[in-house]
Structure 1
Amino acid sequence: MKHTYIITGMSCDGCRSKVEKTLNAIDGIQATVTLDPPIATITMENHIPTAQLQETLSKAGKYSISMESPTNITSKIATEPVTKSCCESNKIQDKKIVALPSNAYGKYYCPMHCEGEKVYDKPGSCPVCGMNLEKIPELSSAKIMYTCPMHPEVIKDGPGSCPICGMDLVPMEPTESEENKVYNDLVRKMKIAVLCTVPVFLIAMSDMISDNPLMRIMDASKWNWVQFGLSLPVVFYACWMFFVRAWKSIVTWNLNMFTLIGIGTGVAFLFSLAGMFFPDIFPNEFRTEDGTVLLYFEATTVILTLVLLGQLLEARAHSRTSGAIKELLKLAPTEATLVIDGKDQVISIHDIKKGDLLRVKPGDKIPVDGKITDGESAIDESMITGEPIPVDKIIGDSVSSGTINGNKSFVMIAEKVGSETLLSQIVQMVNNASRSKAPIQKLADKIAKYFVPIVVFVSVITFFVWAKFGPEPAMVYGFINAIAVLIIACPCALGLATPMSVMVGVGKGAQSGVLIKNAEALERMNKVNVLITDKTGTITEGKPSVEKVFSLESDENTLLQSIASLNQYSEHPLAQAVVNFAKAKNASLIEVKDFEAISGKGVIGTVTNKKVALGNKKLMEQVNATVLDELENKIIAEQKLGKTVSYISVDGIAVGFVSITDAIKATSVEAIKELMRQGVEVIMLTGDNENTAKAVASTLNLSSYKAGCLPEDKLKEIKRLQSEGKIVAMAGDGINDAPALAQADIGIAMGTGTDVAIESAKITLVKGDLQGIVKAKNLSHAVMRNIKQNLFFAFFYNVLGIPIAAGVLYPFFGVLLSPMIAALAMSFSSVSVIANALRLRNLKL
């Protein structure tokens, strides 16, 4: 028997794993636990009361389990308050952890994705790994108000001059970003750390100079006090955050790079303090020639300063990885020109409402999504589609926020504002995708979980081996090498390897018109070996035009009026083509009763008391219409020419047809050829007839196609291919494609298609061009290669570095690795991973 339970109290993947492990420890139970939604699916050999499950679960932490009916689970989860969990035992009361909702922009998240979709209200450090939290960019820039420095009562929503004194207005709020604040704080701490560390380092290194000049000023014990004084600002101010993070990691047992840093430098610092205040407790091996205990203030301060340098460089690099998002946000203008009663008025973009008429002047950025109502121009859409050639727009054409007007002025009506605009949707998708976790990252996460305890164990073994078998002073050698092992093994590069590449790759895709919904889609796209594609609007232009209306009867105009009136209620591109054709012929549209659109077949309704049906042959069969051989032969002849033909029946008799042509996109042939060259099998599934489908497949040299496909047919075909072990991508643009897009391993929506299709897909091609699939495939391949390079470097670095730090080369070459050199190498290993990820910014798709 199988039951579904709601689990409360989980806030991270560690909680989920603990709950699952606890439940599976109960005899006769197999449990699978998910974090989002927070439910447990339990299979039992015999029924176990919920109370017994709760009793067992309570021993693992503050978790609760309750059984609900399937209909109540969704609503219960949606209204469940956020509860404290084991991960909040660090007492961070000033940070509220919440699940990532659609309005989470402006909040903070861990770049390592330690807690999945968790975000914080305030900046700080991650309680799991200790990394600085990154801010999720706002979907739109905040509205900046301006005031006069002399007359604060003057407040305007834009720059200008004060109406009282004429002074330039200034922003009421500082414009420095949170990222800059974090970076500037680290810079300030770095300056203090360097200022104090350099003297400590010089004092310590002066012992290597014969006839040490510093000893002429004062003796070694007094210089030790100077080192101690200079180390205090480094340890307790500039780098204190590292010890805080290390302590949190130990308390919560989320061991990470800061665990190793904190233990290594902390032991060195405490050892030095003990050497200063209690020198008599140390054996002679720890003493210098003048009798003082050998101190490690210079090692402590230099290591901490180098780690701080690594954090500083990472903060700078992190800000660069979100550059694509920032550039997209900059595309939207801050002001727009509102047309009221024929007069122009400059307003803030935040004040635009749906239905407003806006004037766009030459060279201006288009403020919101809408349609041109007066005038025409050429629009530069390269920042959204990636295509450099301006697109001509006339009355009735759609324009998008952030694109740039050419050299003509026009008036547009606002249809989508704020977060509804295409630009905002792009930013939202890029944000979500760059924060998501790729499946390959699970490998790094799993290794990191066991890595830190192993390193601590190796460090302890290193100390005892050197103390037992090393040369004199053996304990000093053991102490130094043990610290070097802790420092060089920090898994920061390992943790950054995947998220950095994903963030840069997703941003690069957005700049090229390829919107990726999550990191899993980015990874799986590289493995796709079958592409299922629709025909209309995907392979073809999706802008069909009626070539002719044929009637077995003499009055074709009456027949055109009937089918155009019927199609005025349909949103299908073919229907719109018929309506446009009728208007061009000056045919008037009349009332239709009992209208019904039948998915994948066509439309039916009652026109002038006659039952009219317009659609494919399957619709004719559904309405039991009689089709004469003469009409059928003419239809077949049209279809063999690659035309899409719709039957017309009146009162159960097929009386004519509509011949519609839809040109194949110029890039479809080239794109499909390239995909097949890369080993991807391309299959066209279309609702069109066999003859038309064959003509299109022949033009594209497709090896496989299926005609007359209903939405459920496409769905079944994808399931069949998946059952054979194929990794299937599906490209489509219509509502009828939505089920197939959702079922496919990778759903690819044409940006020119319907909102439903785009919502169901994992990748959206803004330009609606199959060439975008080639770009997505190439991007996926490049990102995965980049991730593997990063992981290899991180693994190779640690495998090579730990033994060297432990001193395996000393017996053969006399080589030891100083803890300071280990710290420098550790810091720059992380930066090198980031630098490698940033190379994706220069990728040519």
Structure 2
Amino acid sequence: MKHTYHIEGMSCNGCRNHVESMLKKQEGVVDAQVDLAEKKAVVEADEHVSLATLQEAFKAEGSHYSIHPEDYIPSQNAEKQAPANGKDGPGVWYCPMHCEGDKTYDQPGDCPVCGMDLVKQATEVSSEVIYTCPMHPEIEQNEAGSCPICGMDLVPQQPTGEEEDPTYKRLLKKFKVAVGFTLPIFLIAMSDMLQPNPLYRIMDQTYWNWLQFILSIPVVFYATWMFFERAWRSLKYRNLNMFTLIGIGAGVAWIYSLVALLFPNIFPEEFKTPEGLVHLYFESATVILTLVLLGQLLEAKAHSKTNAAVKELLQLAPNQAIRINNGKEEIIAVSQIQKGDLLKIKPGDKIPVDGRISEGNTVIDESMITGEPVGVEKQEGDSIKAGTVNGNRTVVMLAEKVGKETLLAQIISMVNEASRSRAPIQNLADRISAWFVPMVVLTALITFITWVIWGPEPAYTYALINAIAVLIIACPCALGLATPMSVMVGVGKGAQSGVLVKNAEALEKMAKATVLLVDKTGTLTEGKPAVEKIISLDKNYSADQIALLVATLNKNSEHPLADATVEFALAKGLALKKAEDFEAVTGKGVRGKIEGMHILVGNTALMSDEGVTISPEANKELEKARSEGKTVPLVAINGKLTGYLLISDRIRKNSKSAINTLQKHGLQVIMLTGDNAATARAVSTTIGITDYRAGLLPEDKLKAVKALQESGEVVAMTGDGINDAPALAQSDIGIAMGTGTDIAIESAELTLLKGDISGLIKARILSEKVMKNIKQNLFFALIYNSIGVPVAAGVLYPFFGVLLSPMIAALAMSFSSVSVITNALRLRSAQINNLT
């Protein structure tokens, strides 16, 4: 009989093989086939094997995999499993090498695939306000009041800063122990370089050898024992990694030395010193392990800098606010703010949540979110975002979005998710890494045999030392870190500059884009159209009457042009009526009934569909207005063309220079718009775009994207409206304007938070610099190993007499990973405002 199960926790073929092996070992199981992509296992057995039995088997083996019924649906936190050797601790943890993609864990520990220390993700700090007494700091409570000891008013406790990374603290403690015991071992071993050795005057060499062994025990079995645990797990689960090499190399050196210390007579004479003792390598083993530990320590310190951008974003949110309740002011924690609360924002205060100004006007510094240093004027009714800073005037705001609904919270969440995503280029590193460790082990064996056969005396000693050096210097860690470190820093840099990246793949695609499709309204133009004039073509209806009917119908629409007509009518003091049977015709306009009249407002396509005739004289007037860049919606009442509106939307000041810069940088820019050809021609001519497509419906924009892709182009597209969403989703890289609709932003892979087309320049430069940085890291890692492994094997010895000490190899290996992270950190200071 056969049963199908759902398997969680697999990330590679090694995982698949291991799960298959576990299942096949169970009593009664005849065969098992595991599908990695589908996360399914088909188990064939002579008799039924219960699911509980299989689950117990998985649990008994201590693996991080789990087996469930076939129809099992993982919960939102199903992928956040804690590794078996993790320690209790709050927060979200992930592997810096992204071995299992965006998988996260609830506890610190080691990655079950590569063995690296899991890194803590920057998470939102508690918004609870703690009040304390300035005279008696031991007094703490979560609400304002007076000190029970001295009676003084309690004051909000200032945050003390982020807690130091527990991984770094743990490694630092172990490193101090390792250094404390390794240094005397090293000095004892190196004393042989002094002849006569002054230490032998104190006691015999045999006793010094025993002292080295005793001193090495805390280093091996406490400070660096985790490396051997990781090496064993890598062999057990067939996830060979850098700790496999370290465990074998350092372990062989230490065990060899221990055996030589206990049973020196079993070794041939060429292994012995003139005094009859065997050469020991306690100092090599402990120095190697200590240097590897140093590398891990430096990496842990560097990792804390890679997500510095997220930490800076977290610091933008204040932890308290002033709420106005029944005319009285009260200080509350930000977590206590509810939708509809009125909040007082003083000069210099950070905005606590998203909302609108209900009283007053001010200038808001939005640079922390958009990357632009110029303050933005805000009036009553204007929206303001959490994390931005108020200017020099006090205002009252109405809270509309709180907690995880705020833009700042969403940005932080997206940046964290994007930082853990995998770029396609990482697949190259994965393919190399899959063969890397086995090839290094094979190389070490070949090195050992070669030196035994052809090496000088003592041949076995040379063979052992060089084989260990080969194992130690090889560093798949540097190769694995090359991509994720650059992605993490790059995504953070983008967030600080107003470019929100949804995933790492978006950065790679943006760098490869050959064609840029841009929408007109809200992208090239300001997206704030205004009605200039209303022309009546029917003497029975005045311009104001037409304005009233159009605004009444358009108040049900979300289109920017509709908003402009409503604002125009309200400014004239017109009282809007009630519309019935309202319908928005995508890409064409709107229709409905007002007091029994059938009203149409839209483009010529809508009029044609409804059988409305446009006279040659009227058509001539319309074409003239369109040639001047005006948008001209038509108005028909009861099937007759009654008038039209002249609406202008100013071109953004920097649109022309931005488009010109992008064109010089090799991007073919094409404007797509639902507006008519005359208006599109006027705008494109002003901006300097030679290719444009006008009168497009959403499906037409989608077809345009597909056509370009079929011709071999890599298509990037920007847009801000609902009608852009299909094309944004189809394009190779969709770029949404942050001032646009939620659906456009959701469909895009990059979002320009300021809604400014100049942000495209930042996005292009950022993607290019990140990809260049990744390639530098990959090149460095590959060249390092290509040169380091042969040198460690002794290829230079026949020509220059140069051999690489395993201790130097360990130092080089540790710093190779640190250098990759350091190179990635250079992106933090990269200039992405101008193309160079």
> C-alpha displacement at 1:185, in angstroms?
1.4
Aligned partner of 1:345: which letter?
E
* Cα distance in structure 1, aligned partners of 2:125 and 2:645: 46
Aligned partner of 1:396: which letter?
G
Aligned to 2:28: none
**Structure 1 residues 125 and 169, CA gap change in structure 2 (3 angstroms):** farther
* Cα distance in structure 1, aligned partners of 2:164 and 2:149: 36
Partner SS, residue 196 of structure 1:
helix
Aligned to 2:420: 435
Aligned to 2:29: none
Q: Does 1:638 align with 2:625?
A: yes
> What are the equivalent positions in structure 2 for 1:38-77 lying under 5 Å apart?
38=39, 77=73
Aligned to 1:579: 566
Aligned to 2:727: 740
Aligned to 1:337: 322
* Cα distance in structure 2, aligned partners of 1:16 and 1:689: 58
Partner SS, residue 13 of structure 1:
coil
Q: Does 1:777 align with 2:764?
A: yes
Aligned to 1:43: none
Q: Does 1:414 align with 2:394?
A: no
**Structure 1 residues 646 and 6, CA gap change in structure 2 (3 angstroms):** farther
Partner SS, residue 401 of structure 1:
coil
Aligned partner of 1:531: which letter?
L
User: Which of 188, 191, 194 is the equivalent residue of 1:206?
Assistant: 191
Q: Is the 8 A contact 2:737 2:752 kept in 1?
A: yes
Q: Is the 8 A contact 1:179 1:319 kept in 2?
A: no
Please, what TM-score do these two structures have when normalized by structure 1? 0.90
Aligned partner of 1:707: which letter?
A
User: Which of 283, 298, 310 is the equivalent residue of 2:295?
Assistant: 310
Please, what TM-score do these two structures have when normalized by structure 2? 0.91
> C-alpha displacement at 1:189, in angstroms?
1.1
* Cα distance in structure 1, aligned partners of 2:176 and 2:373: 45
Q: Does 1:320 align with 2:305?
A: yes
> C-alpha displacement at 1:568, in angstroms?
0.8
> C-alpha displacement at 1:66, in angstroms?
9.2
> What are the equivalent positions in structure 2 for 1:397-546 lying under 5 Å apart?
397-546=382-531
Deviation per CA, 1:505-536, whole angstroms, max 9, x where unpaired? 11111110000000000111100001111110
Aligned to 2:706: 719
User: Which of 260, 264, 275 is the equivalent residue of 2:260?
Assistant: 275
> What are the equivalent positions in structure 2 for 1:355-374 lying under 5 Å apart?
355-374=340-359
Q: Is the 8 A contact 1:147 1:170 kept in 2?
A: yes
Q: Is the 8 A contact 2:10 2:36 kept in 1?
A: no
Partner SS, residue 359 of structure 2:
strand
Deviation per CA, 1:697-727, whole angstroms, max 9, x where unpaired? 1112212111111111111110111111111
> C-alpha displacement at 1:226, in angstroms?
1.1
Aligned partner of 1:829: which letter?
S
Aligned to 2:84: 92
Q: Is the 8 A contact 2:579 2:593 kept in 1?
A: yes
* Cα distance in structure 2, aligned partners of 1:83 and 1:580: 50
**Structure 1 residues 16 and 704, CA gap change in structure 2 (3 angstroms):** farther
Aligned partner of 2:281: which letter?
Y
Q: Which moved more, 1:142-151 or 1:275-284?
A: 142-151
Partner SS, residue 749 of structure 1:
strand
Aligned to 1:376: 361
Partner SS, residue 346 of structure 1:
strand
**Structure 1 residues 725 and 135, CA gap change in structure 2 (3 angstroms):** same
* Cα distance in structure 2, aligned partners of 1:595 and 1:79: 41
> C-alpha displacement at 1:162, in angstroms?
2.6
Aligned partner of 2:389: which letter?
I
Q: Is the 8 A contact 2:444 2:793 kept in 1?
A: yes
> What are the equivalent positions in structure 2 for 1:671-690 lying under 5 Å apart?
671-690=658-677
* Cα distance in structure 2, aligned partners of 1:538 and 1:658: 22
* Cα distance in structure 2, aligned partners of 1:153 and 1:674: 60
Q: Is the 8 A contact 1:7 1:63 kept in 2?
A: no
> C-alpha displacement at 1:747, in angstroms?
0.5
Aligned partner of 1:322: which letter?
N
Q: Does 1:608 align with 2:595?
A: yes
Aligned partner of 2:445: which letter?
V
**Structure 1 residues 283 and 315, CA gap change in structure 2 (3 angstroms):** same
**Structure 1 residues 15 and 808, CA gap change in structure 2 (3 angstroms):** closer
Q: Is the 8 A contact 1:20 1:33 kept in 2?
A: no
**Structure 1 residues 66 and 364, CA gap change in structure 2 (3 angstroms):** closer
Partner SS, residue 373 of structure 2:
coil
Partner SS, residue 303 of structure 1:
helix
> C-alpha displacement at 1:139, in angstroms?
4.0
Partner SS, residue 128 of structure 2:
coil
> C-alpha displacement at 1:553, in angstroms?
2.3
* Cα distance in structure 2, aligned partners of 1:174 and 1:558: 60
**Structure 1 residues 604 and 516, CA gap change in structure 2 (3 angstroms):** same
Aligned to 2:554: 567
* Cα distance in structure 2, aligned partners of 1:49 and 1:453: 30
> C-alpha displacement at 1:106, in angstroms?
2.8
Aligned partner of 1:446: which letter?
R
Q: Is the 8 A contact 2:127 2:319 kept in 1?
A: no
**Structure 1 residues 65 and 414, CA gap change in structure 2 (3 angstroms):** closer
**Structure 1 residues 729 and 361, CA gap change in structure 2 (3 angstroms):** same
**Structure 1 residues 20 and 224, CA gap change in structure 2 (3 angstroms):** closer
Gaps of 5+ in 2: 21-32, 59-64
Deviation per CA, 1:266-317, whole angstroms, max 9, x where unpaired? 0111111111111111111221121111111100111111101100110000
Q: Is the 8 A contact 1:10 1:38 kept in 2?
A: yes
Q: Does 1:623 align with 2:621?
A: no
* Cα distance in structure 2, aligned partners of 1:805 and 1:316: 28
* Cα distance in structure 2, aligned partners of 1:602 and 1:506: 39
Aligned partner of 2:668: which letter?
E
> C-alpha displacement at 1:545, in angstroms?
0.4
* Cα distance in structure 1, aligned partners of 2:40 and 2:520: 41
Aligned to 1:27: none
Number of matched residues?
805
* Cα distance in structure 2, aligned partners of 1:51 and 1:729: 52
> C-alpha displacement at 1:775, in angstroms?
0.8
> C-alpha displacement at 1:581, in angstroms?
0.3
Aligned partner of 1:572: which letter?
H
Partner SS, residue 165 of structure 2:
helix
* Cα distance in structure 2, aligned partners of 1:761 and 1:642: 28
**Structure 1 residues 418 and 66, CA gap change in structure 2 (3 angstroms):** closer
**Structure 1 residues 769 and 245, CA gap change in structure 2 (3 angstroms):** same
**Structure 1 residues 752 and 81, CA gap change in structure 2 (3 angstroms):** closer
Aligned to 1:828: 815
**Structure 1 residues 716 and 51, CA gap change in structure 2 (3 angstroms):** farther
Partner SS, residue 210 of structure 1:
coil
> C-alpha displacement at 1:677, in angstroms?
0.7
Aligned to 2:535: 550
Q: Is the 8 A contact 1:501 1:838 kept in 2?
A: yes
* Cα distance in structure 1, aligned partners of 2:573 and 2:676: 30
Q: Which moved more, 1:619-628 or 1:185-194?
A: 619-628
Aligned partner of 1:689: which letter?
N
Deviation per CA, 1:355-412, whole angstroms, max 9, x where unpaired? 1111110011111111111101111111111111111111111111111111111011
Q: Does 1:14 align with 2:12?
A: yes
Deviation per CA, 1:597-649, whole angstroms, max 9, x where unpaired? 11111111101110001011111122222222222221111101000110101
Aligned partner of 1:115: which letter?
E
Q: Is the 8 A contact 2:317 2:352 kept in 1?
A: yes
Q: Which moved more, 1:231-240 or 1:154-163?
A: 154-163
* Cα distance in structure 1, aligned partners of 2:128 and 2:451: 63
Gaps of 5+ in 1: 23-30, 41-47, 68-72, 97-103
> What are the equivalent positions in structure 2 for 1:736-775 lying under 5 Å apart?
736-775=723-762
Partner SS, residue 200 of structure 2:
helix
Aligned partner of 1:708: which letter?
G
Aligned to 2:214: 229
CA RMSD of aligned residues (A): 3.1
Percentage of pairs with the same residue: 58
